[in-house]
Chain A
Amino acid sequence: MGEPVRRVEDRRLLTGNGRYLDDLGADAVEVAVLRSPHAHAKILDIDVTGALEVEGLLAIYTYDDLTGPLADPLPLLIPHPALTHGRTQYPLARDEVNYVGEAVAFVVAENRYLAEDAAERIVVSYEVLPPVVGITAARAAEQLVHPDVPGNVAAHLVQEVGDAAAAIAAAPHRLELDLTVERSASTPLEGRGVLARWDADAQRLRIWTSTQTSTGVRAAVAVKLGLDLGSVEVITPDVGGGFGVKIVHPWPEEVLVPMAARALGRPVKWTEDRREHFISSAHERGQQQHVEVGFDDDGRLLGLSVRFWHDHGAYIPYGLIVPIITSTQLLGPYKPGAYRVEFESLYTNTVIVTPYRGAGRPQGVYAMERTMDAIAGYLGLDRAEVRERNFIQPEEMPYDHGLIFQDGRPLVYDSGDFPASLAKLKKLVGWDDWPAYQAAARAEGRRVGIGLACYVEGTGVGPYEGGHVQVETTGKVKVATGLTSQGQGHQTAFAQIVADELGVPMSDIEVVTGDTRRFPYAVGTFASRAAVMSGSAIALAARAARAKILKVAADALEAEPGDLEIVEGRVRVKGSPGAEISLGTVAVLSNPLRYAFDEASKAATQFVVGHPDQPPVGEDDEPGIEGRDYYSPVGSTFANGMHAVIVETDPDTAEIKILRYCVVHDCGTLINPMIVEGQVHGGVAQGVGGALYERMAYDESGQLQNASFMDFLMPYVSEVPASIEIDHLETPSPLNPLGIKGAGEAGVIPSAAVFAAAISDAEGFAITSMPISPSELFELRAAHAVPGQQEGDRS
């Protein structure tokens, strides 16, 4: 723990030996999905005649082929009392399509090429309906996405602490802000994919899927296909990125591929292509926000009222998680005074919106931090100082905001030292030297700006995760946890935890994740929860295994367990050189044998070990050295961080260049600083994309015009800051045995806010719509270049 150990999985992954979904199932037949070309249409007819001539065609499924639970809409995964008009899609469209990309027909053929050939010969007759595209259209509700959902509103939720309207009205100063954030998406390099094998003899289904929750997929598929849970196994192979999109389940393909495998008696595989990922997986981020704030002469918040409109796309399978997170995590490290937040979650005829790394926090932080900057600008105060005056203080922890968080539990911060974090960041970026630097740059005709943004991130949400640790007779340690890995370095981080707890070398530890055969109880990998949840569970399981090791070893060494230590895989009596026993031998002795199978195992046979007057396995004991335990916290643990960026904008082209990017990060105890920094780097890179490049360019008819990597601008290494300067603050969480807080999403959360702040500072006018491109900045300059425009408004 705490060491920057190199990731044990990297050699395999970097040398091309990873096994991703499409690397599996060489003998499988393959699928192409025919998808809707219209954003909103009735299906009048599906004619497959033309497809029948394609050689190698095996099956074509449409809605009419779905029976039993498969014919029902896919699950609404997270119900909420405010979600009064929840709608989810059918695995295959029934009589209506509601976004470009909605699955209409599912074609199985000997290979993908033939399946595509057949799919393109299917003729679907549509009656095209007017689509609802964008939040403005959804709010206007002149057209409805679902005829039985008035106003396109799926949910309307209000939370209020105190009387915000009265507090704002009574405040010495008031401001209002209107802000927008556009859509982006997780965009993992590996899209989704599913492989299924039906064993007709055993009547069992085995599924491999590129998911963030193998146990979730397992439960959903069992229900949808009418199978016992015990007859379904789900294995998550190497996953080439998730970033949230793969927590949604079951995707249509996750139930249809197993259905086809069972119906056809052949292994069936579907691998998503890039266009499919853009138009039929999930997006995030799109919101309109209206902020009203009242504050005193020092910039202290007295009342804050936020209304926002959240675009969740055509269906809402993941419930209200994203807008709830926006509405609660918006508060960041601050005390808002009286607080009221109200949102509407709106249907549009576009791809669904589900959590993407950050999951609603980037939007919330954007609203709050733009507000902080506006207050500072209004009062002519230092932006850092205004923030500091509103901080929750360390001695106020645990701090209860009086709101309900995304896990249905009170929003209570468990730890953090925000003044200390800000002090670190100011030092790291040279905040106090900034005015001089900027003045000097301006004197040279350069436009430079600095931005600052703070966030608090609820991580490690429940309900639970579990861990299993087993010591084999070779002395090797096998570790399993149910949640999945998408590149986070779990094999390394979890092995570090076990190595510390058991005193064994990392090289003797193998970690398996996301395989329901190895660990059937789990929730999934999201909300920066793997290290917190499974890390804690594995630590507890390792401690149970350690207790058993010491008990067996104490018996063998005729010592007290308390006098023993485990070093490098050997149990020894402290201070007695030579009195020691290997973990492998302990494992042998822990399992009383009748039959020896090798030299070592003779030591555990019945004429060698045991007391004649005692049962070989005690009443409360079990054979073997195993520990299994679960970690289930009362509430989330709250990580936090602060970012600063310095940008330079080109006076002519409005190109935005990053000069420096600084991060102060507090995720409690660090298991592996190298992995945490890698997570921060990745998050910052994704944040740069979200702030400066990425958007989902829907036209007015609901066609996504940039559904490829040629047109969707993902940042390359050339756009990511060459150096991301990071400092850590460790305020351990009191909620878990290791004191850790999540780190997976942190890097991306404040990006829109911090870039908007820096560009505003450079340009002298407020940026209120993100992301921002050079062209847009150029247009904004023109719009602001009117008589009377003053420089120096940094808000």
Chain B
Amino acid sequence: MKVAGEAVLHAPVERVWTALRDPAVLVATIPGCERLVTTGPDSYDMTVTAGVASIKGSYTGTVSLAELPEPNTFLMKASGAGGPGTVSADVTVTLVEEGDATRLRYDADAVVGGVIGGVGQRMLAGVAKKLAGEFFAAVDEVLTGARSMAPAPIGEAGTAGMPTVYRDAGPGRLAARTGEPVSFILGAVFGAATALAGVLVGVRVARGGRRLDDA
């Protein structure tokens, strides 16, 4: 399944790139992300719980980012698995300067397996795009200072030889404000990752009628 879209972020390309590589920002802005563990430069393990009607379960996934030769272009690879199925996606993201702002384009190619794969392409794509929009809006709020970032990391942060763990910090944070565990990977990084997570997140969004109106 292919999903493409774009968003405008109100910060220069460099700041956007930095923000998107900041796990503290990611854990706060990715819908459904409960836990983000750095496993290396620009690579993470994630945990998400989906509380979906017919697709309940805990999902784990990995996300990695790599720059591509083209300027301001990088590739996000994400994969996740849980009870209802599997998702993997390659997302190409391009950042283009637009005055003081940045236009972000994403092209995702996702493979969805298991029951999730059975909900219909348009629905998956629709959810992915919708959540991508919400994710970028949340990132944009961070970039413009409309949203304050709680200090992170927490937990095992700083312990020598241990990975750094980021958790969604609860009230005041995007995901937690919804009052429910949120779904998966989508966000994994950019809204682009939405393509994949879109599936899981989407189902629960559909179920809960949740709206991130402020995002």
By a beta-carbon cutoff of 8 Å, the part of chain A in contact with chain B is 29, 46-49, 51-62, 64-65, 105, 110, 260, 262-266
Contact A53 B123 (CB under 8 A): no
Query: Complex formed: what's the CA distance from A48 to B127 in Å?
Result: 9
Q: B residues within 8 A CB of A46?
A: 122
Contacts A52-B126, A56-B207, A263-B115 supplied; 8 other A-B pairs, CB < 8 Å: A47-B126, A48-B123, A48-B126, A58-B53, A59-B123, A64-B121, A65-B121, A110-B53
Q: Does B170 contact A (CB under 8 A)?
A: no
| Smallest Cβ-Cβ distance to A61: which chain B residue | B120
Contact B130 A49 (CB under 8 A): yes
Contact A60 B207 (CB under 8 A): no
Q: B residues within 8 A CB of A49?
A: 126, 129-130
Query: Complex formed: what's the CA distance from A51 to B120 in Å?
Result: 13
Q: Which single member of A56, A105, A260 contacts B118 (CB below 8 Å)? A: A260
Q: List 15 A-B contacts (CB under 8 A).
A: A47-B126, A48-B126, A51-B126, A52-B126, A52-B206, A56-B207, A57-B206, A58-B119, A60-B120, A60-B126, A64-B121, A64-B122, A65-B121, A263-B119, A265-B54
A110-B53, A264-B115 given; A54·B206 CB < 8 A: yes
Q: A residues within 8 A CB of B127?
A: 52
Query: How many residues from B make CB contacts under 8 Å with A?
Result: 22
Q: Does B158 contact A (CB under 8 A)?
A: no
Contact A60 B53 (CB under 8 A): no
Q: A residues within 8 A CB of B179?
A: none
Contact B207 A57 (CB under 8 A): yes
Query: Complex formed: what's the CA distance from A57 to B205 in Å?
Result: 10
| Smallest Cβ-Cβ distance to B211: which chain A residue | A53
Contact A56 B53 (CB under 8 A): yes
Query: Complex formed: what's the CA distance from A263 to B123 in Å?
Result: 14
- Give the number of residue pairs across the A-B interface with Cβ within 8 Å: 75
Contact A265 B129 (CB under 8 A): no
Contact B126 A59 (CB under 8 A): no
A49-B129, A52-B205 given; A58·B54 CB < 8 A: yes
Q: B residues within 8 A CB of A54?
A: 206, 209
A110-B53, A265-B54 given; A55·B208 CB < 8 A: yes
Q: Which single member of A52, A64, A105 contacts B202 (CB below 8 Å)? A: A52
A60-B120, A65-B120 given; A53·B206 CB < 8 A: yes
Which residues B102-157 have CB closer than 8 A to chain A? Answer: 115, 117-123, 126-127, 129-130
Contact A62 B208 (CB under 8 A): no
Q: Which single member of B54, B122, B130, B207 contacts A55 (CB below 8 Å)? A: B207
Q: Which 9 residue pairs are nearest across A and B when measured between Cβ atoms?
A: A263-B118, A59-B119, A60-B123, A57-B206, A60-B120, A61-B120, A48-B126, A48-B122, A59-B120
The dominant DSSP class at the A interface is: mixed
Query: Complex formed: what's the CA distance from A262 to B117 in Å?
Result: 11
Q: B residues within 8 A CB of A58?
A: 53-54, 119, 203, 206
Q: A residues within 8 A CB of B211?
A: 53
Q: B residues within 8 A CB of A61?
A: 120
A49-B130, A264-B115 given; A60·B122 CB < 8 A: yes
Q: B residues within 8 A CB of A29?
A: 54
Contact A263 B117 (CB under 8 A): yes
Q: B residues within 8 A CB of A105?
A: 122
Q: B residues within 8 A CB of A47?
A: 126
Query: Complex formed: what's the CA distance from A131 to B101 in Å?
Result: 49
Query: Complex formed: what's the CA distance from A287 to B211 in Å?
Result: 55
Taking the closest CB of chain B, its distance from the CB of A84, in whole angstroms, is 35
Contact B122 A264 (CB under 8 A): no
Taking the closest CB of chain B, its distance from the CB of A516, in whole angstroms, is 25
Contact B207 A264 (CB under 8 A): no
| Smallest Cβ-Cβ distance to A122: which chain B residue | B122
Contact B119 A60 (CB under 8 A): yes
A47-B126, A110-B53, A265-B115 given; A55·B121 CB < 8 A: no
Q: Which single member of A53, A62, A265 contacts B122 (CB below 8 Å)? A: A62
| Smallest Cβ-Cβ distance to A47: which chain B residue | B126
Which residue of A52, A60, A61 has the most chain B CB atoms within 10 A of its CB atom? A52
Contact B118 A264 (CB under 8 A): yes
Q: A residues within 8 A CB of B120?
A: 48, 59-62, 65
| Smallest Cβ-Cβ distance to B125: which chain A residue | A48
Which residue of B53, B203, B211 has the most chain A CB atoms within 10 A of its CB atom? B53
Contact A59 B130 (CB under 8 A): no
Q: Which single member of B54, B130, B202, B209 contacts A264 (CB below 8 Å)? A: B54
Q: A residues within 8 A CB of B118?
A: 59, 260, 262-265
Q: A residues within 8 A CB of B202?
A: 52
| Smallest Cβ-Cβ distance to B117: which chain A residue | A263
Query: Complex formed: what's the CA distance from A51 to B119 in Å?
Result: 13
Which residue of B53, B118, B202, B211 has the most chain A CB atoms within 10 A of its CB atom? B118
Q: A residues within 8 A CB of B119?
A: 58-60, 263-264
Q: Which single member of A51, A62, A262 contacts B121 (CB below 8 Å)? A: A62
